[in-house]
Amino acid sequence: MASEENFMRAPAPSPKRTIYTEAMEIFHRAADLIGLDKRVRLELEEPDYEHIFYVTAKLKDRLVPLAPEEAKAFSDLSVTQVRNPDGLERLADGKIILNGRALLGSDVNIRRGHLRLPDGGVYQLVPGESQRFKAYRVQHNQARGPYKGGIRYHREVSLDLFKALAAEMTWKTAIAEVPFGGGKGGIQIDPRQYGREELENITLRFMYKLKSLIGPSIDIPAPDVGTNGDIMALMLRQYSDGERERHNMRGIVTGKDVRIGGSEGRVKATGQGVAYCIEDFYSERNETLRGKTFTMQGFGNVGSNGASILAGMGARLLAVNDADGSIFNGDGIDVPSLIAYVNDPKNLKKSVAGFPGAQRIEKKDLWEISADMLIPAALGGEITADVAERLKVKLIAEGANGPTTPEADRVLQKRGIDLIPDIIANAGGVTVSYYEWIQNKRMERWSESEVDQRLEKAMKRNYRIIRDISRNQPRKTDMHDSRAYCLGKTVDPRCAAMILALKRIEAHYLIEGFSQ
């Protein structure tokens, strides 16, 4: 039996390797190199706030398909003639949501809770129940401005992951020179398993719980994996509904539809930023992207837009992998056709799998395809040391957050594979989010060309500073000035990017001091 003095006492913390500690390895390495002020280091080592809460929602009735063996017991069940097929919402997992009065007025034939639809399948009717979802918001640092970071809906999220992603936003906003700090959050959910109205209800409830923690000048969410402009619109409505100055609150979220205060160029911004960095990488070598080949891991917002822009610059897409499949065409994949295939309403999984313009391959085969570039644009931790050993590319441009493990970084350096690190490569999204926020604040609207011009200058200026830090090449040009950031020694590109971020953040603490 535990002694009285140990009753309810938390165990002593034991150091362990986590997603967050792994992500912070580069922080500590860069902090050591620049001699980061000890108190500033303590301020940045852990988030300001870590919020965990729950949201509940009432789900709709579902039709769950029976396996062929189970369906044999209902072989004589007559077909239910559905008079309102629009009320049946098919999901990626094969289930069907019953919206509104989907079966009202239909000739319904039900036996023991089962019915047969005109597609021939037998389905079990499962009444909708209330469900609870775990939600998070991590606010890492606000020394440079309001917390800023995406909302992720994914089944594999955790507090530790959001801590790592929020910290990355702190570094990324500093590198992009936008006056924000870092935040990240979301819900532990697979959005593909829920209907439109269900996701709407879950999102509205999420923002209801989140409202006291955020604000247009406090913490500004944006889309991330599993969310989009539709989700941002719902969050805007819930946050501003009933407020007297609702129009002043459009900056509470970015990544909105342009018709409700979003910015031109925001949807493609992250992929556009990746493309600008790649273009500058080759431009320095007096080369263009024409004729270059690339492979893409992930084909969501970042991957599809990045592929489209690179193809427009003359590059050729050879292979794509996503969560549901991998495809390859040595002669090149037609990117517009692939995007149309993925966005076809019949493609419920929104996957590249089955695309007729390419052959199916295994995911492990993607890593061994010879190409000029690999663009990881999916989730973190995809490029492990083993994968890095097998790669046959010359350049990796990280469109995703944290796609390369620290062990893989060391392999890439040993093999001489060039890297454009994520905290600059995919900073286009938060940069244009800042432009959207400014437009909302000023009640302005900028053209797409104006947004693109600003973004190109910001991406290339800061990428060039990072290259100079990496090579210990301090200089001042018409575009950039790296003299204040070089260390007198060469460092790898990822460390160089972190050095730039930390020096910019440290300046705020050293000049402004600390609140008491």
Q: For the CA atoms of the chain, what is the radius of gyration?
A: 25
Question: DSSP string covering 272-321, please?
Answer: HHHHHHHHHHHHTTT--STT-EEEEE--SHHHHHHHHHHHHTT-EEEEEE
CA angle (205, 208, 210) in 5-degree steps: 110
- Collapse the DSSP code of 28 into the 3-class scheme (helix H, G, I; strand E, B; otherwise coil) and give the result: helix
Could you count the other beta carbons within 10 Å of the beta carbon of residue 486?
Answer: 20
> Rounded to an integer, what distance in angstroms lies between the CA atom of residue 352 and that of residue 322?
7
- Collapse the DSSP code of 342 into the 3-class scheme (helix H, G, I; strand E, B; otherwise coil) and give the result: helix
CA angle (487, 31, 25) in 5-degree steps: 120
Closest CA to 489 of 462, 463, 470: 470
Q: What are 390's two structure tokens?
A: 């097998």
* Distance linking the first and last C-alpha atoms of the chain: 44
- Collapse the DSSP code of 471 into the 3-class scheme (helix H, G, I; strand E, B; otherwise coil) and give the result: helix
Do 376 and 396 form a contact (C-beta atoms < 8 A)?
yes
Show the beta-strand stretches assigned E in 177-224: 182-188, 219-223
> Rounded to an integer, what distance in angstroms lies between the CA atom of residue 360 and that of residue 344?
19
CA angle (278, 281, 286) in 5-degree steps: 120
What pairs with residue 223 in β-bridges? 151
Do 469 and 486 form a contact (C-beta atoms < 8 A)?
yes
Q: Which amino acid is at 442?
A: R
> Rounded to an integer, what distance in angstroms lies between the CA atom of residue 47 and that of residue 44?
7
Sign of CA dihedral 10, 11, 15, 21: negative
Distances in whole angstroms, Cα of residue 174 to Cα of each of 66, 171, 351, 418, 467: 52, 5, 34, 23, 16
Q: What are 184's two structure tokens?
A: 């990240």
Encode burial over 84-110: b for 16+ CB neighbours within 10 A, e otherwise. Answer: eeebbbebeeebbbbbeebbeebeeee
Give the pairing type, strands 325-328 and 182-188: unpaired
Exactly one of 95, 184, 350, 460 is catalytic; which is it? 184
Give Cα 232 distance to the centre of its chain: 14
Do 252 and 441 form a contact (C-beta atoms < 8 A)?
no
Question: Is 503 among the catalytic positions?
Answer: no
The number of helices, as runs of H, and strands, as runs of E, in the chain is 17, 17
Active site residues: 184
